[in-house]
Structure 1
Amino acid sequence: MKFDIDYIAHNNKLTEANPYFKLFLTIILLIATLALDNLYFDIFIFILMSIVILAIAKINYKSYLKFLTIPLAFLIITCLFLIFFFGKGDVIYETGIFGIVVTRNSWHYGLYTFFRVIGCLPSLGFLALTTPIAKIFHCLETMKVPKILIEIGLLMYNTIFIFLNEIDTMQKAQETRLGYHSYWSSLRSLGALISTIFLRSLDKSETLQHALDSRGYTGELPVYIPPKKEE
């Protein structure tokens, strides 16, 4: 199943809920999680917001896990790097590899960083998976966020999903040609994928600029304004 965050945001039980409430709730939870720096509070927020996403918004658990997978992978790598290469103090574990050790300070640093991010992820997921991006940008515009930041966010959002679709298409093409049947062929396919994506990104950026120019782009992108409900 291909992960489509835009489809999920438009098809859940909280789609029509007040976007301002969801935006402010997310901001408050993020600030509280980062400011308190409390491991138990981080775990509580993770469990609470996961329950809201799965039980109240009725989002498929597989989609939720896919949303968490990529940031979790980067988080684990980052925290391992912090644990093994940062911090001073008493040594609690020696790896025996090039003098790399784990200190008490680095262990706490990596552990608290991990749970702090874990606490933030479902809060961001709550906003991203239950609110269409057009409504989020509309809320930001009414809150007088600089238009340049909104436009950059809109272009980045659009471009990211174009590239994800390109990656998915190319990976499937490589798999049909047995591009991943062995370790070395996987490395060659991955290298080809990365180089091709770089070239495609240049081509897509030029195509996007031509598309904007052909639609009368003058340096400002219009933001979706939801229609007012008739009373």
Structure 2
Amino acid sequence: MKFDMDYIAHNNALTESNPYVKLFLTIILLIVTLALDNLYFDLFIFIVMSFVILVIAKINYKSYLKFLSIPMAFLIITCLFLIFFFGSGEIIYRTGIFGIVVTKDSLHYGVYTFARVMGCLPCLGFLALTTPIAKILHCLGELKVPKVVIEIALLMYNTIFIFLNEIDTMQKAQQTRLGYHSYMNSFKSLGALASTIFLRSLDKSETMQNALDSRGYDGELPVYKPKN
């Protein structure tokens, strides 16, 4: 199943809910979660917001897990680095590899960082998966966020999904040619994918700029405004 966040944001039980309420709720929960630094509260927020996303918004659990998968991968790598390479104090575990140890402080940093980010992810997911990007940007505009920030956010959002679509298309093409049927071929295919997607990204960015110029782009992008 291909993950399409834009489609999900337009097709869920909370799509038509007040976007200002969802935006402010997300911001408040993020601030509180980061400020409290409490494992139990982080777990509570994760459970509650996941319940809202899956049960109240009625978003498919597979889509929700896909939303969490990419940041989770980076989070796990980051927390492992924190645990094994940062912190000082009492040593609680020796790996025996190049003097790498786990200290009480480093374990604390790793665990609490993991918990805080896990508490924040469903809050961001609640906003991203239940509110179309056009409505979010409109709310930011009404709150007097600088236009340049809104335009950069819009271009980044569009570019990210073009980028993901290119990756999906190229991976499927490689799979049809048995590009991942062995470890060696998988490494070669991933290398080819990484190098090609970089060139495709440059090409797509130039195409986007030409498209904007041909439509009279004067440095300001039109932003969605709901009908009164």
Q: TM-score, normalised by structure 1?
A: 0.98
User: In structure 2, how many angstroms separate the alpha carbons of the residues matched to 1:176 and 1:74?
Assistant: 29
1:201 Cα deviation (Å)?
Answer: 0.8
Which position in structure 2 is the counterpart of 1:147? 147
State the 1:136 CA deviation. 0.1
* Distance (whole Å) between structure 1 residues aligned to residue 70 and residue 81 of structure 2: 17
Deviation at 1:171, TM superposition (A): 0.3
Give 1:102 deviation, angstroms. 0.2
Which residue matches 2:56?
Answer: 56
Matching residue of 1:180: 180
SS of corresponding position for 1:158: helix
1:206 equivalent to 2:212? Answer: no
2:102 corresponds to 1:118: no
Q: Displacement of 1:125 after TM fit?
A: 0.2
Superposition deviation, residue 13 in structure 1: 0.5
Residues 1:105 and 2:105 are matched in the alignment = yes
Tell me the number of residue pairs that the alignment of Structure 1 and Structure 2 aligns.
228
- In 2, Cα distance between equivalents of 1:121 and 1:205: 29
Rounded to whole Å, the distance in 1 between the matches of 2:75 and 2:56 is 27
Counterpart in 1 of 2:72? 72
Deviations 1:100-119 (A, max 9, x none): 00000000000000000000
Counterpart position of 1:158: 158
The within-5 A match list for 1:24-63 is: 24-63=24-63
Amino acid at match of 2:3: F
Other-structure match for 2:93: 93
Q: Take 1:223 and 1:130, find their aligned partners in 2: how far apart are those partners?
A: 19
1:131 paired residue number: 131
Q: 1:84-140: per-residue Cα shift (whole Å, max 9, x none)? A: 000000100011111100000000000000000000000000000000000000000
CA distance in 2, matches of 1:195, 1:53: 36
Aligned to 2:197: 197
Question: Alignment partner of 1:160: what SS?
Answer: helix
Question: What TM-score does the superposition give when structure 2 sets the normalisation length?
Answer: 0.99
1: CA distance, partners of 2:203 / 2:13? 38
Measure how far apart 1:167 and its partner are: 0.3
SS in 2 for 1:180: coil
Amino acid at match of 1:214: S
What is the distance in 2 between the residues matched to 1:161 and 1:208? 13
Alpha-carbon RMSD across the aligned residues, in angstroms, is: 0.4
Runs of 4+ that moved beyond 2 A: none
Give the distance between the partners of 1:35 and 1:102, measured in 2 at CA.
26
Q: CA deviation at 1:187?
A: 0.6
CA distance, structure 1, for counterparts of residue 60 and residue 178 of structure 2: 31
What is the rounded CA distance, in whole Å, between the counterparts of 1:81 and 1:168 in structure 2?
A: 30
Aligned partners of 2:163 and 2:109: how far apart in 1? 34
Displacement of 1:190 = 0.4
Aligned-partner residue type, residue 34 of structure 1: L
Q: What one-letter code is carried by the residue in structure 1 that aligns with 2:36?
A: L
1:27 maps to a residue whose letter is I
